[in-house]
Amino acid sequence: MAIFEVSGAAVVFLLILVVLVAFVTEVVPNDVTAISVVAALVVLEPWTGVGTRAAISGFANPATVTIIAMYMLSAGVQNTGVVERLGVYLADFTAGREFRALVATVCTTGPIAGFVNNTPVVAVFIPMVTGLAENAKMSPSKLLLPLSYAAILGGTLTLIGTSTNILASDFARLLIDGRDGIGMFEFTGLGAVLLAVGLAYLLTVGWRLTPARVPVDSDPVEEFDLDDYLTHLYVRPGSAAVGLSVEAFDSAHPEIRILQVRRDGEAYAGPHSDRVIETGDDVIVHGSLQAVSRFREAAKLGRRAREAVTEETFESSDTDGMLAKAVVPEDSPFVGETVAETELHEFHETSVLAVRRGGDLFRTDLAEHALEAGDLLLVRTTPASVRYFTDTGDLVVADERALDQLADADIDELAPLSPKTPIAVGVLVGVVALAALDVLPIVIAALAGVVVMVVTGCLTTADAYDAVSWNVIFLLAGVIPLGIALESTGGAALVSEFLVATDEYLPAVGVMFVLYVVAGVLASVITPVATAVLMIPVGVNAAAQLGANEFAFLLAVMFASATSFMTPVGYQTNLMVYGPGGYEFTDFLRVGGPLQLLLAVVATAGIAVIWGV
């Protein structure tokens, strides 16, 4: 039996190493890697001890089902318009003052994220925060990183605050004798302390460390360095364009894109317009200098060399076209597709003008450019398409001015509240109350809440399914059996022995601090969910070997996994603000590193005081 355990643990460790490399390099999407783990565990069953039933147990795990239900409940509340309405009130509160804008951003996002999934909250707040920054004459970079961090901190408030909390509750039931999971508000006291400490940091030290990467009132044309890719032309007599519709003329020249046609002070959006081109019309086109040069010669057009194309070119006249910035979220259907394959141009009248990925900027051959999560796109689009992207979440529009064109200044039109608002909010409160009072298990209460929302019309079945980040669900379902294998083969106990070895130099609370730091670093690299699955068994085993409080060590891993600040890839909300904030990778380490270390100290001390070690 001992030989089986050692060899089995070695196989599981090798598999974990392969998975970690795949997570870090992202040679394939993380959810695909996780599903591959399920197959590998069964194929290697003689060593892993994981059969088919155990390998697919992640899909039936209460944590997985609960997280699916919570995504749906969050969508039901999101559909009410409550969060959007709050954003409008925040704009009034800030009154154009920098510090007020920061306070409003972090002090509202954190508490909300304790009850509503923080990803859609951040998606809604990104354009609003950008608008707050514009009103305060400050760089949006100064607010977007604190926005993400506050949303992450809010996840520590309740059991439903983040998926890792729900996962930790299930591990507590499985690994700790006498434990029936974690209560809805069992750790809220410490979560509130962490939120308060984190917000105090963001309002002081973090505020000074956060860089102003995006200039105040930056012109998107300058921000994406498109001066040489946008050209102002005009139609000469005898041009091949005369008599053609804008759409037909654009289709005949696939190397360029006609963005606007201007005549007598009026502007007409292209390239889908059926407006017929006439001699003397001004034409704004997008394309490389070489492509535009060939286009000019072929169509016999002239160039207005002294008239630069800027954002004002698209906003100076009433038109149904606009420039907007949009982020590709992790669960977008466009992830992995080329710009051409997304068919944004054909179906959504949206032209991609540039793509920013971290410090890289792509402006040529965009049709064949594959999109990745976190990419920031500069697009020429329409109000109808902006509304579609906002409603579906396929793209996160990061431009407040683009959203402002969807409605006038009346608050009921700009941020309308659904008639179902009281029902949706009441259902969420009911789910929390039923779980908190132990009337129903959280998984059953959440599923019942989804049913009530669908039956009452707060949520359609299509919206419910669309609301779930299925990549996260498959990631979770795939790595849960890996945690089972780590525990059953004795791998978790072996790793724990290395952790326990520090007991010679550190007290038990010091060992727990080391566990917290290691888990926090891993969460910044391989995702919080994977970290929780792999490290919770290690932490519980270490506590057992030390004779320490197993639940306290489990909480240390839970809090560490839920508070990942040091990289843009560690948490989805960090990735969402990466592009709009114009951040560099090191910005997250500089601002998030001290915060993560500070919370490691506070959380470890808090756990020791409240639950004991």
Q: What is the pLDDT of residues 404-415, one digit of tens each?
A: 544 444 445 555
pLDDT cut 70: percent of the chain above it: 94
More confident residue, 428 or 404: 428
Q: Which domain holds residue 294?
A: 228-307
Largest distance between two CA atoms of the chain: 90
For residue 12, the model assigns a pLDDT of 85
Sheet containing strand 360-362, edge to edge, reads 360-362, 351-357, 376-381, 322-327, 396-397
Total Cβ atoms within 10 A of residue 207: 17
Most confident of 12-26, 38-52, 166-180: 166-180
The total of structural domains in the chain comes to 1
For residue 1, the model assigns a pLDDT of 40
Average pLDDT over residues 144-160: 94
| Whether residue 7 has pLDDT greater than 80 | no
Identify the CA nearest to 353 among candidates 220, 233, 232, 215.
220
Task: Answer yes or no: are the C-beta atoms of 15 and 21 closer than 8 Å.
Answer: no
| Whether residue 82 has pLDDT greater than 80 | no
Burial of 543 (0-12, 13-18, 19+ CB in 10 A): buried
Average pLDDT over residues 569-593: 90
Q: What is the pLDDT of residues 506-528, one digit of tens each?
A: 899 999 999 999 999 989 888 88
In a domain, 130, yes or no: no
In a domain, 518, yes or no: no
The first and second tokens of residue 429, run together, are 């409160």
Distances (CA, A) of 318 to 217, 315, 405: 21, 7, 11
| Whether residue 402 has pLDDT greater than 60 | no
- 234 sits in the region (left: phi over 0; alpha: psi -120 to 50; else beta) called beta
For residue 4, the model assigns a pLDDT of 43
| Whether residue 400 has pLDDT greater than 70 | no
Displacement of CA 178 from its chain's centroid (Å): 36
Q: What CATH number is associated with residue 268?
A: 3.30.70.1450
For residue 405, the model assigns a pLDDT of 46
Cα 4 to Cα 586: distance, rounded to the nearest angstrom = 44
User: Sorting pLDDT into bands at 50, 70 and 90, what band is 91?
Assistant: low
In a domain, 258, yes or no: yes
The first and second tokens of residue 322, run together, are 């606009």
For residue 413, the model assigns a pLDDT of 52
Cα 247 to Cα 465: distance, rounded to the nearest angstrom = 36
Average pLDDT over residues 269-295: 86
- Give this prediction's pTM: 0.85
The first and second tokens of residue 190, run together, are 């410490």
User: Sorting pLDDT into bands at 50, 70 and 90, what band is 555?
Assistant: very high
Partners of 323 in beta bridges: 380
For residue 98, the model assigns a pLDDT of 82
For residue 520, the model assigns a pLDDT of 93
For residue 411, the model assigns a pLDDT of 47
In a domain, 292, yes or no: yes
Most confident of 23-37, 185-199, 371-385: 185-199
In a domain, 278, yes or no: yes
Cα 165 to Cα 112: distance, rounded to the nearest angstrom = 16
Q: Report residue 324: phi and psi, to 5°.
A: -150, 155
The first and second tokens of residue 475, run together, are 């990631």
Amino acid at 303: R
User: Sorting pLDDT into bands at 50, 70 and 90, what band is 484?
Assistant: confident
In a domain, 358, yes or no: no
Most confident of 25-34, 448-457, 492-501: 448-457
Task: Answer yes or no: are the C-beta atoms of 146 and 108 closer than 8 Å.
Answer: no
| Whether residue 75 has pLDDT greater than 90 | no
510's enclosing H/E stretch is helix 508-526
In a domain, 105, yes or no: no
Mean pLDDT of the chain: 86
Average pLDDT over residues 431-442: 90
In a domain, 288, yes or no: yes
Is the bond preceding residue 46 a cis peptide, omega within 30 degrees?
A: no
Q: What is the pLDDT of residues 182-192, one digit of tens each?
A: 999 999 999 99
For residue 164, the model assigns a pLDDT of 92
Average pLDDT over residues 79-102: 75
Q: What is the pLDDT of residues 209-258, one digit of tens each?
A: 999 988 877 778 888 888 888 889 999 998 888 888 888 888 888 888 88
Partners of 396 in beta bridges: 327
For residue 604, the model assigns a pLDDT of 97
For residue 566, the model assigns a pLDDT of 92
Q: 504: which DSSP letter?
A: G
| Whether residue 197 has pLDDT greater than 90 | yes
| Whether residue 361 has pLDDT greater than 80 | yes
Distances (CA, A) of 25 to 39, 484, 600: 21, 24, 27
pLDDT cut 90: percent of the chain above it: 32
The first and second tokens of residue 160, run together, are 């439903």
Displacement of CA 559 from its chain's centroid (Å): 19
The first and second tokens of residue 17, run together, are 């190493």
Task: Answer yes or no: are the C-beta atoms of 119 and 469 closer than 8 Å.
Answer: yes
Task: Answer yes or no: are the C-beta atoms of 579 and 514 closer than 8 Å.
Answer: no
